[in-house]
Structure 1
Amino acid sequence: MTDIDDAEEYEVAVVGGGPAGLQAALYTARLGHDTVVVNRGGGRAAMMLDTHNVVGVTEDVSGNEFLQTGREQIQSYGADYVQDLITEATRLDDGRFRLDGNEGAFVADRVVLGMGFNDERPDPPLPRTGKGLHYCLHCDAYMFIDRPVFVMGAGESAAHVAMIMLNFTDEVDLLLRGEDPQWSEETDERLRAHPVDVVHEDIASMTKSENGWLESFEFEDGEVRKYRGGFPMYGSNYNTDLAEQLGCEINDDGTVPVDDDGETSAEGVYAVGDLTPGHNQIPVAMGKGAQAGLAIHYELREFPRSLDEIREGGDVSPDEVPGLGDRIHAAAEEYEEARAPPIESESDSDSDSDSESASSEAEPAADDD
């Protein structure tokens, strides 16, 4: 068995089926490159009960509905979507990449990593994610205008988010849950200058409404405080195993550094979305995915050929065009048949003209009758 004879071959393999990975695949597929998205399932976007801050997508669209639409889009343009967990990634001797999963194996010219990160969850009792527990400040702060909100954690980020939430409401509690504060003296001075109530006791129990939304926490000292919801700030675990296997540099905070096109320090390996530095927002992730998809297209497209290639190999033969992957070519034909009328050939036009002439010649005879 060789390095590839048991694997499906593609030009582009995207690992991760979130907004960034799907957007990258949408571009590479529509631009003519055989593409596969391999997704383990789940992810932060899939947990969203509502979709926020995405122009053209209303808030009644859940994360799963949003992602399902994306999967259908890429498949309509010829990309494959596979549910699998990639556990091993290697660079082959020919420069391509092999990805091995629990169910299958894939070989590709370029790899896009879009596995994001997992939020660290605090210990229960906790409300359900989306119904009192929120992980995206920029997505969900709007929900807490003039409502009581908690921020949970004892580090720098928790203290800063608590102060930020004062832009939206005057009822902000910082819940230490029995931990000692870990923020700096400067942050402590700033925090004390803001009307944030720091609650030291841990949570003893929780009350939820009939629809599952958080109503209140009871603390170990017996005090009950009502909340619309809040933000746990306990850090993130970035999914960098494959990036490390492929030799990508990793930042101290766990993110994968990339250039303007999304390429990592490992040539041919791209990273997009929450795995990279920057705001963890769906539109930002989609922009990163689009940029990576475009950059990969410029690298992989067949034409125009360079002068060096032409001088060495001769002119481009008509038999070599169009420069599309097989899967994309087949999908494009189906797309045209489903959405556009067939393009008439010259012989069809001549035949139609002859029929029209014969018809108009016959019409007077019918009138005479």
Structure 2
Amino acid sequence: MTLDAIVIGAGPAGLAAAIYLARFRRQVLVLHDGDSRAAWIPRSHNHPGFPGGIVGVDLLDRTRRQAEAFGARIEEAQVTGLCVDGAGFTVNTADRSLSARSVILATGVVDRLPELPGVEAAVRRSLVRICPICDGFEVTGQAVAVIGDGPLGAGEALFLQTYSDDITLIHTGAAGDLPDGERQGLAKAGVRLIEAPIQEVTLDHDRLSALAFTEQGKLEFDAVYTALGVDPRTDLAIQAGAQRCDDGRLIVDDHQETTVPGLYAAGDLVRGLNQISTAQGEAAIAATALHNRLREMSAK
């Protein structure tokens, strides 16, 4: 059987796309590996509709149940291959091959995390933070450290001055990785710059409160952000022939269609804002464009 659509990824974008497609009365299957980045969110306070905030896994569960209520099928499976097959696509998993007239990719990104003990668990507990747009408000007035290895770290440190005047950039890359322009901007803004590897991490009352360095000794912070960048999960798109931007994310048009007709993408692997609301909006656009494309194809 050839499905109308397969959605790969069950984060906010993939599940939102499934809701729309199911309500368009399309036969849609969502395949995911059980590792949504949104599940790391301890509590989101900037997602509209939840004044008290919402835990990432709870948001995913609510959205999944909503998609299933309208008839979307959601299955955990590792997708190993994607290719154009005639007028549609073949999607391969470890144990089967599936056919679909269209595909939406919502595979997200992988964060580059610093080499700190238990760093993934620390992110889930907000001991290490990865998104100042998401939760910078929560560190208002605190002593904040940003771990970076290039211009991205400098930019994030300056951004966090929206919330605090006590910002330190811990530059872990080579000296040449931080251009003079960024150094001058940091100095002008009053951001402290440390260029040394992190030797030790101290937990105090369930907080990552101190980082030790070779020359500076041990410095205490209320919050620590990592700004080492991300790697978009575009392997499947590349297999299908889709093209990427210079930053590694997928090229899409105004309707979220990639350079491969019938292959759409939404969420973090497309644009750099990495926000739930943005991902869901892109998913709505992609699903609607997909539905209309299939309608036009059926009318011919």
TM-score class normalised by the smaller sequence: over 0.9
Among 29, 32, 46, which residue is 2:25 paired with? 32
Equivalent residue for 1:86?
79
Q: Do structure 1's residue 286 and structure 2's residue 295 form an aligned pair?
A: no
Which amino acid counterpart does residue 33 of structure 1 have in structure 2?
Answer: R
Alignment length, in residue pairs?
Answer: 297
Q: Distance in 2 between matches of 1:37 and 1:246?
A: 18
Q: Which residue of 2 aligns with 1:116?
A: 108
Quote the residue 2:96 is aligned against: 104
- Measured in 2, the distance between the counterparts of 1:224 and 1:141 equals 24
Percent of aligned positions with the same letter in both sequences? 29
* Cα 1:100–1:298 shift into 2, 3 Å: same
With structure 1 as the length reference, what TM-score do the two structures score? 0.76
Name the structure 2 match of 1:258: 252
Which residue of structure 2 lines up, in the alignment, with residue 160 of structure 1? Answer: 155
1:236 equivalent in alignment to 2:227 = no
Q: Give the Cα separation in 2 of the matches to 1:215 and 1:183.
A: 26
Distance 1:297 1:288, change over 3 A: same
Question: 1:102-144: CA deviations, max 9, x gaps?
Answer: 2433211110001011011111246500422111120011111
- Is the 8 Å Cα contact of residues 153 and 171 (structure 2) preserved in structure 1? no
* Higher CA-based Rg: 1
For 1:80-229, list aligned pairs within 5 A.
80-93=73-86, 95-125=87-117, 128-129=122-123, 130-177=125-172, 179-210=174-205, 212-221=206-215, 223-229=217-223
Name the one with the larger strand percent: 2
Moved over 3 A (4+): none
By how many angstroms is 1:166 displaced? 1.5
Pairing 1:298–2:292 present: yes
SS at 2:175's partner residue? coil
Counterpart Cα distance in 2 of 1:278 and 1:295: 22
TM-score by structure 2 length? Answer: 0.93
Stretches of structure 1 that go unaligned for 5 or more consecutive residues are 1-7, 310-369
How far off its partner does 1:277 sit? Answer: 2.1
**Aligned partners of 2:110 and 2:102: how far apart in 1?**
25
Query: Matches of 2:71 and 2:9 in 1, distance apart?
Result: 18
C-alpha distance 202-178 of structure 1, shift in aligned 2 (>3 A) = farther
Deviations 1:177-222 (Å, cap 9, x if unpaired)?
Answer: 4742512222222222121111223222222234x32122222336
Q: Is the 8 A contact 1:84 1:104 kept in 2?
A: no
After superposition, give the CA deviation of every residue in 1:133-164 in whole Å (9 maximum; x if it has no partner).
11112001111110010111130111111112
